[in-house]
Amino acid sequence: MTLGCLLWTLPVAWGAYAAVQQSDGTGSVIELFRQLGRWSGGAMVQYEGVSETPLLLAANDPVFISDAAGRVRQVGKVRTAGGYLFDPAATRQSLVLLDDAVVNGLCPDGFELHYYSTPTSLDWVAATLLPESRRAEIVTILAREWEQHGPALTARLQPVLRDAMGQMARAVES
């Protein structure tokens, strides 16, 4: 009995603590609990998203909305994207589940979905996070280290590459 009460009390207390920490003093704690209730109660409405160009989507990708104050919050998720796949797939149609109360409250005249993605290439990450001067410094450091250690590294990698090529040749022959 005590364990059961503890298992119910701890998540509620943790949720209340998290809500107070995120509160900006304008009733956001109450709004947070309302949102949690809608999410857990399944008060989500399914919409069909259609695009002229294929989009890379996966089931459970988040759907966000930004309000007039510029705050961004999650209001739903992609339900299906070319089937019930969790791996991203290029698709022109998908089903999205949205918290209808929030969407209708912020967009009473309807809404349009926009697709945004973040590139995952290392070049993009470096260009975004590092200023040009730091990128130039890193290129200089890498060039200097390669000049100093390149021949030794190449010599050490040659036997590994030779073995790998031999294994590939044997695999192709068999």
123-149 burial code (b ≥16 CB/10 A, e <16):
eeeeeeeeeeeeeeeeeeeeeeeeeee
User: Domains of the chain: which residue ranges?
Assistant: 1-42, 43-117, 126-173
Greatest CA span in the chain, whole angstroms? 71
Each residue's pLDDT expressed in tens, for the chain with a length of 174 residues: 666 655 676 666 666 666 555 555 455 666 666 666 666 666 778 888 888 888 888 888 888 887 777 778 788 888 877 655 567 788 888 888 888 777 777 777 777 777 777 777 888 888 888 889 998 999 999 999 999 999 999 999 999 999 999 999 999 987
Indicate the pTM of the whole model. 0.48
Please choose, from the candidates 95, 97, 110, 107, the residue with its C-alpha nearest in 3D space to the C-alpha of residue 42.
97
The string of pLDDT tens digits covering residues 39-74 is 666 677 888 888 888 888 888 888 888 777 777 878
